[in-house]
Structure 1
Amino acid sequence: MKTDKSERLFKEAVEKIPGGVNSPVRAFQAVGKNPRFIERAEKQYIYDVDGNQYVDYIGSWGPMILGHKNEQVQAAVQEAIEKGLSFGAATEIEVEMAKLICDIVPAIEMVRMVNSGTEAVMSAIRVARGYTGRNKVLKFEGCYHGHADAMLVKAGSGVMTSGVPDSAGVPAGCAEDTLTAIYNNLESVEKLFAENKGEVACLIVEPVAANMGVVEPQEGFLQGLRDICTREGALLIFDEVITGFRLQLEGASGYFGVTPDLITYGKIIGGGMPVGAYGGRKDVMQVVSPVGAVYQAGTLSGNPVAMHAGITQLRILKEHPEIYSKINENGEKLRAGLRELIEKYQIPCVVNGIGSLSCMFFTKEPVVDYESAKTSDTVMFGKYFNHMLNRGHYLAPSQFEAIFLSVAHTEEDIRRYLGDVEEFFE
């Protein structure tokens, strides 16, 4: 593969952009390379500036569930652009989007649009504090909830990859009300609630942890969180930036049959465009300004171009449930194939996943939480990543991220992927 143009662009980028990238998860430092600069995408493929084609297993970190350049989504965006890019005023499409989300997700009675998953989480936590009159927030080790100060505590994902346990620049006071429990461990949750009786405003969780690799909730874990929060008078927040409208149309709350008080979303509700949202119970959401005393605002919230892209994608997903059947079946085939190869070659790996989300960890240990995820051999992952990249598979450059499948991926893509994994194992 030629990489001349990507290498030249990276040299220019590092002079003007910190690390040469505008988000750390795009850096290839952890795998000993410089990033490929992507020029265009279509269906399950992305193409870099040197003309290399890759099967894309990132999908803009999850939202491209229909594949790249879906014709209906593209047409909706083009139509919206003809009317203007941004108004900073109320639009009809915002109302349609809110009604659609509330119609699809039973747990959501009211919803507020924002511009990113980070903003959605930040706002939802503020709402929980305003609603309960409490200050403390409980999260889990290895779960990533955006880069707001209070959430950068054992935050997983890019933070794990870069070897930074938290973040410089976060005052101690910003994180002193953040409590950290162990994912899949209800006892650790009970202990923190007992030690902070009547002080916890909310518990926030990725219902499927997807920022320390992919770690599924063990049976009874999510319902246990629901029961504890109900008993303690704290709000339960599902961070569904990854799982929302991906596990199934109703997201993780529908998939697991557990109803949170608030849910946060990210780019998937914008068809990949910059967007986010938070919503939930009506009585909780009505504490938000201008109705209530919790202030949250944004000039670009509900941007009409993003709304047209998002509502088109959500309508397609609602009208075509077979999309979920296909992506989930392909996810199962991928994981089954990987497990067969691991058994055949006796490689110290485990495979986690659910639906269209998968992750292979280079460790013998079952991965059920942050500590077990950290037993992965990241050097071996780097070798694996580079082998797969050179054979045309574009993966996240981190052991601690997910493989995302779209409806555009084919069985042949899966067979080819498994064939190249076998070559690596050999």
Structure 2
Amino acid sequence: MGENARVPDDISPLSAAASEALFARAKTVTPGGVNSPVRAFNAVGGTPRFIREAKGAWLTDVDGNDYVDLICSWGPMLLGHAHPEVQAAVLEAVTRGTSFGTPTTPEVELAEEIVSRAPVEKVRFVSSGTEATMSAIRLARGFTGRDVILKFAGNYHGHVDSLLASAGSGLVTHAIPGTPGVPESSTELTVVLPYNDRAAVTAAFESYRDRVACLITEASPGNMGIVPPEPGFNEFLATTCRDNGALFISDEVMTGFRAGKQGQWGLDGKSEGWAPDLVTFGKVMGGGFPAAAFGGRADVMGSLSPDGPVYQAGTLSGNPVATTAGLTTLRLATDEVYDHISQAAETVKAAIVETFTKAGLPHVVQATGTMFSVFFAEGPVRNFEEAKTTDEAAYKAFFHAMLDQGVYLPPSAYEAWFLSSAHDERAVSQITEALPYAAEAAAKELS
């Protein structure tokens, strides 16, 4: 249990002895004992669980505890863990070899599948979402011949130096480094704006005029909790960029093929008739493997090497095993899959609202497509400043109370919750039945 986290008297913490031992070993050879910071449980306290295996909607840790999984590898496991058809395709691919450094059939087929679903004409594969956004920005600068980047506070686009930036002292000023190790020179051409603020976007374009190469935004932010774009906001961004000769980059690393069959664009762009100039993808399109991509208009993508002068390369880009996993996942991601996940998510969201209301907990549940998150705050939450009003201590108590009842939530108050097509009645029931105890723990923290 994390410090100060409390649960009702009849719920006992699950054993974490084996995880504690592994965590101690890991900290001697790995910074913080983890390979991505949120895994360390720093935001919620306690011992991170080391997972031994996963199947369907369930995780099993090294102590033998089972948990309903509500992070799904932070989104990719749309079909649940160890899906038999994905596993079979991957195993067959591995028998042919794991990496060739040459073009392969699966990468062509996966690119065709992405182009058929998303508002892009051509796609280039990379190995991570960070690499995708970094490459998209370089391409935008090369294509436009401009240098300034616009982004929004609370939107995360990977650990690219120029995007690890905090807002400057004024509404429209160059950003400052958001972490040690990022020099001012890396962020001096980045402008950070408040999200969902049209006036700030207009002011930025007026200030920098013909210097803005691109505006990048999460299609629907999920890294400060789910904070959906207000109606028409993404269309406004696309139109404003076009009118000012800049490129609009929609970051769908998280939402792509997860929020819906066509990502966030399918929810708020397709019907309105607008499209981004560039889109970044990751997570679901890799089927659980380290794969990502960026794509867009054919004329913009034509500026990439070897066709054009903007250089980008990667030894493992388009890896045949990863693209096979992604292709199989997308082919299995039917309308029925999304309907199932949406229905399960609606059940969980309704149970949260009912339970929190009875417990007198301040809360707002926000969603986009199949993704949602819970803020321990009065809503709605429209930007990063409002997201930060969530009560982190209450979430910490809530997290551990759920964990001790076999429900694995994101170990941070500012992350999205994910379900899969494998979340059946049993899994959903375990979540909803755990809520009253966890709500009581959170209410005690607030009292």
Whether 1:312 and 2:312 are equivalent positions in the alignment is: no
Q: State the partner residue of 1:55.
A: 68
Q: State the partner residue of 1:339.
A: 353
Match of 1:368 among 377, 382, 387: 382
Q: State the partner residue of 2:292.
A: 276
Contact 2:16-2:47 within 8 A present in 1 as well: no
Match of 1:299 among 293, 315, 320: 315
In 2, the alpha carbon distance for the partners of 1:331 and 1:192 equals 37
In 1, the alpha carbon distance for the partners of 2:255 and 2:114 equals 15
In 2, the alpha carbon distance for the partners of 1:100 and 1:397 equals 33
Counterpart amino acid of residue 315 in structure 1: R
In 1, the alpha carbon distance for the partners of 2:438 and 2:125 equals 44
Counterpart amino acid of residue 56 in structure 1: D
In 1, the alpha carbon distance for the partners of 2:418 and 2:439 equals 22
Question: Cα offset for 1:339?
Answer: 1.5
Whether 1:115 and 2:115 are equivalent positions in the alignment is: no
Match of 2:304 among 270, 277, 288: 288
Match of 1:388 among 402, 407, 410: 402
Q: State the partner residue of 2:371.
A: 357
Q: State the partner residue of 2:97.
A: 84
Counterpart amino acid of residue 157 in structure 2: H
In 1, the alpha carbon distance for the partners of 2:438 and 2:267 equals 35
Counterpart amino acid of residue 400 in structure 2: N
Contact 1:331-1:354 within 8 A present in 2 as well: no
State the SS of the aligned residue for 1:30: coil
Whether 1:31 and 2:44 are equivalent positions in the alignment is: yes
In 1, the alpha carbon distance for the partners of 2:372 and 2:50 equals 25
| 1:183-198 equivalent positions in 2, closer than 5 A | 183-198=195-210
In 2, the alpha carbon distance for the partners of 1:307 and 1:112 equals 12
Question: Cα offset for 1:416?
Answer: 2.7
Question: Unmatched 5+ residue regions in structure 1?
Answer: 156-163
Q: State the partner residue of 1:215.
A: 227
Whether 1:178 and 2:190 are equivalent positions in the alignment is: yes
In 2, the alpha carbon distance for the partners of 1:133 and 1:368 equals 33
In 2, the alpha carbon distance for the partners of 1:74 and 1:165 equals 42
Question: Cα offset for 1:355?
Answer: 2.3
Question: Cα offset for 1:109?
Answer: 0.4
In 2, the alpha carbon distance for the partners of 1:411 and 1:227 equals 44
Whether 1:415 and 2:429 are equivalent positions in the alignment is: yes
Deviations 1:351-402 (A, max 9, x none): 1112221111111242111000011111111111100011101111100001
Question: Unmatched 5+ residue regions in structure 2?
Answer: 1-13, 168-175, 441-447
In 1, the alpha carbon distance for the partners of 2:417 and 2:177 equals 23
In 1, the alpha carbon distance for the partners of 2:304 and 2:266 equals 25
Counterpart amino acid of residue 331 in structure 1: A
Contact 2:264-2:369 within 8 A present in 1 as well: no
Q: Percent identity?
A: 49
In 2, the alpha carbon distance for the partners of 1:165 and 1:390 equals 38
Match of 1:228 among 240, 261, 275: 240
In 1, the alpha carbon distance for the partners of 2:234 and 2:110 equals 28
Contact 2:153-2:195 within 8 A present in 1 as well: yes
Contact 1:264-1:277 within 8 A present in 2 as well: yes
Counterpart amino acid of residue 161 in structure 2: D
Contact 1:44-1:56 within 8 A present in 2 as well: yes
Moved more, 274-283 or 255-264: 255-264
| 1:14-25 equivalent positions in 2, closer than 5 A | 14-25=27-38
Whether 1:40 and 2:53 are equivalent positions in the alignment is: yes
Whether 1:328 and 2:342 are equivalent positions in the alignment is: yes
State the SS of the aligned residue for 1:197: helix
TM-score normalised per structure 1:
0.95
Moved more, 402-411 or 63-72: 402-411
Moved more, 329-338 or 227-236: 329-338
State the SS of the aligned residue for 2:72: coil
Contact 2:53-2:59 within 8 A present in 1 as well: yes
Deviations 1:145-167 (A, max 9, x none): 00010111149xxxxxxxx9821
Q: State the partner residue of 1:159.
A: none
Whether 1:397 and 2:411 are equivalent positions in the alignment is: yes
How many residue pairs are counted as aligned between the two chains?
415
Contact 1:98-1:111 within 8 A present in 2 as well: yes
In 2, the alpha carbon distance for the partners of 1:52 and 1:413 equals 15
| 1:64-79 equivalent positions in 2, closer than 5 A | 64-79=77-92
Q: State the partner residue of 2:150.
A: 138
State the SS of the aligned residue for 1:111: strand
State the SS of the aligned residue for 1:368: coil
Contact 2:401-2:437 within 8 A present in 1 as well: no
Q: State the partner residue of 1:203.
A: 215
* Cα distance change of structure 1 residues 165 and 405 upon mapping to structure 2, 3 Å threshold: farther
State the SS of the aligned residue for 1:216: coil
Question: Cα offset for 1:342?
Answer: 2.4
Deviations 1:73-122 (A, max 9, x none): 101110111011111111122111111211222x1100000000000000
In 2, the alpha carbon distance for the partners of 1:100 and 1:207 equals 20
Whether 1:266 and 2:273 are equivalent positions in the alignment is: no
Q: State the partner residue of 2:141.
A: 129
State the SS of the aligned residue for 1:19: helix
Counterpart amino acid of residue 428 in structure 2: I
In 2, the alpha carbon distance for the partners of 1:19 and 1:392 equals 25
Q: Which runs of 4+ in 1 moved over 4 A?
A: none
Counterpart amino acid of residue 343 in structure 2: E
Q: State the partner residue of 1:158.
A: none
In 2, the alpha carbon distance for the partners of 1:341 and 1:165 equals 41
CA-based RMSD: 1.4
Counterpart amino acid of residue 45 in structure 1: W
Question: Cα offset for 1:333?
Answer: 2.0
Counterpart amino acid of residue 226 in structure 1: A
Deviations 1:18-71 (A, max 9, x none): 000010011111111121101100000011111110000011110100000011
